[in-house]
Amino acid sequence: MAKVRHSRFDCTPGCSVEAAIGLIDGKWKAIILWHLLAGTLRFNEIRRQVQNCTPRMLTNQLRELEDDGLITRKVYAQVPPKVEYSLSELGLSMAPILRALKAWGDANIGLYGKPLGHDPREPQPGGSAQRGSL
């Protein structure tokens, strides 16, 4: 999403909206947060939940989330290593957003990711959506 993260928000009102998604974007962050909402998880536990996210990506996303103060990383001085990730207070405060996303997705997304219902390109009889007719 290209550097919205931590830019200055001079914009008018919607800035807070922009700021919020800025922290939550990035292909895996929202899902990671969502899973952490259910409780603390270890690195590979997350990996299993979010399959086909490479370890590199996972590390990246987790680091950014941590840098933004949304999650907490706890390292146990053991071997084999044990690292636990959990939501910080700030991250927890995102619960309403996450739940809203989940609710909307459950209600509106088909198996193939396209929103369900009324395809806007379906030729509508009373046609009011032309393109290129300009």
Which residues contact DNA by CB under 7 A? Answer: 1-3, 5, 26-27, 42-45, 52-57, 59-62, 73, 75, 79-83, 134
Q: Between residue 71 and residue 130, which ones bind a second copy under the rule CB under 8 A?
A: 72-75, 77, 81, 88-90, 93-94, 96-98, 100-109, 111-115, 117-121, 128-130
Q: Between residue 11 and residue 40, which ones bind a second copy under the rule CB under 8 A?
A: 11-12, 14-27, 30-31, 34-35
Q: Is there a contact between 32 and 62 (Cβ–Cβ < 8 Å)? A: yes
**Cα 123 to Cα 125: distance, rounded to the nearest angstrom:** 6
CB of residue 96 to DNA, shortest distance in Å: 23
Q: Which of 32, 28, 17 is nearest to 91 (CA)?
A: 32
**Cα 100 to Cα 103: distance, rounded to the nearest angstrom:** 5
